[in-house]
Amino acid sequence: MAVINQVITDNYALYNSDSCEVLPTLPDKSIHLSIYSPPFAVDGPRGGGGCLYHYSSSERDLSNCRSYDEFFEHYEFIVKEIARLTLPGRITAVHCCDVPMDGANICGYADFPGRIIQLHQKHGFHYLPRIVIPKEPLQVRNRTMTKALAHRQICDDSTQTNMAAADYLIPFRKHGTNPIPVTHPNGLLSYAGFGEPPEELLKYRDMVGDQKQNRYSHWIWRRYASSVWEDIRGNGWETRKAEGIRGNGVLPYEAGKEEDDERHMHPLQLDVIERACVLWSNPGETVLTPFMGVGSEVYGAVACGRRGVGIELKQAYYRQAVRNVPLALDESHKAEEATLF
């Protein structure tokens, strides 16, 4: 499968193709950070795709693997390539969740993140503590229409209820010594989230000198270093929306959907991507996503002053990414030079 289409600029490269063919063409140790959501495989007799996570009809799509094990056989090729491309000591971050077994007839959940962790450890990555991104239960119920999250189920038989399963961002560090430290000589200057720092800390935003005394940066760091990122816009917990494209927490995606798409497509939240870029890469470095979707990770990288490389198999998603990503160049927020609330 050749590259169907591509857009290459000084700030980003977008490819409409199969990652399994594009990744091998990239140079060794050329990626400083990767962040992405792989297709979510459904465990059980109906195989890797199931009814909840169908992305396209292409036989190249991981969501169409015939079994859970075949999914990981296919996905392993991606992980091996990312290991080759990633600089020593640098991070690849995988966004995932526990997945229902046997599609709609849920008899339990599979530890999808656990299999992802094992696969990365096999290929020379060190597992770092996973970050929990909680979901608002009513939003999940309205999006998936699962009976297990309906309040009525509490009344009828609460043993048949579920929790709103959290998302996880799992960072892995490639073995070896990082040759280019990611530094923040003036602390963390930009906060990605829906909380607001106490007013008395704002005077520290432009502080120079001993950053141990920078209480504003410390306030941000305490949130980023938490194992639970409960202040991410786009998960339904925020009480007010931000202005502009970030108002909903995710990029526009409805135009990228097709009639036979899965029921609850939801791009990775921009706050998550920004935090990853700021924590694990320097301005000007290259951020990769092998499953680009509508362009969220590339957009986030470019908005943070990094270079983005994205690969997407599905043409409808790619076309939406081509519309979305250039908007990052218009963001007033660049790297860590502005504060967004």
Min mean pLDDT across 74-78, 139-143, 170-174, 280-284 is at 139-143
Listed by start position, the domains of the chain span 5-128+170-194+229-330
- Name the packing angle between helices 270-280 and 296-303 (round to 10°): 50
**Phi and psi angles of residue 84, each rounded to the nearest 5 degrees, phi first:** -65, -40
Which pLDDT tens digit goes with each residue over 246-271? 556 878 755 545 555 544 456 899 99
More confident residue, 115 or 250: 115
Q: DSSP letters along 34-53, please?
A: EEE----PPBSTTTTTTTT-
pLDDT of 197 higher than 70: yes
pLDDT of 336 higher than 80: no
Whole-number percent of the chain with pLDDT over 90: 56
Q: Are 305 and 283 in contact (CB under 8 A)?
A: yes
Min mean pLDDT across 102-106, 213-217, 315-319 is at 102-106
**Average pLDDT score, the chain:** 84
Query: Cα separation of 121 and 175, whole Å?
Result: 10
Which pLDDT tens digit goes with each residue over 117-137? 999 999 999 999 999 999 888
Model pLDDT, residue 47: 47
| Cα–Cα distances in angstroms (integers) from residue 213 to residues 106, 198, 205, 221, in the given order | 51, 16, 11, 13
Residues 6+ apart with CB under 8 A from 37: 94, 95, 96, 268, 291, 293
Average pLDDT over residues 128-155: 86
Min mean pLDDT across 57-71, 210-224, 298-312 is at 57-71
More confident residue, 283 or 238: 283
Model pLDDT, residue 162: 82
More confident residue, 139 or 43: 139
Model pLDDT, residue 234: 83
Q: How many alpha carbons fall within 13 Å on the CB side of residue 320?
A: 19
Model pLDDT, residue 257: 53
Q: Are 35 and 297 in contact (CB under 8 A)?
A: yes
pLDDT of 339 higher than 90: no
pLDDT-based confidence at residue 340 (cuts at 50, 70, 90): very low
Min mean pLDDT across 47-61, 174-188, 190-204, 282-296 is at 47-61
pLDDT of 14 higher than 70: yes
Query: Cα separation of 142 and 140, whole Å?
Result: 5
Q: Which CATH architecture has domain 5-128+170-194+229-330?
A: 3-Layer(aba) Sandwich (3.40)
Whole-number percent of the chain with pLDDT over 70: 79
Min mean pLDDT across 75-79, 82-86, 241-245, 282-286 is at 241-245
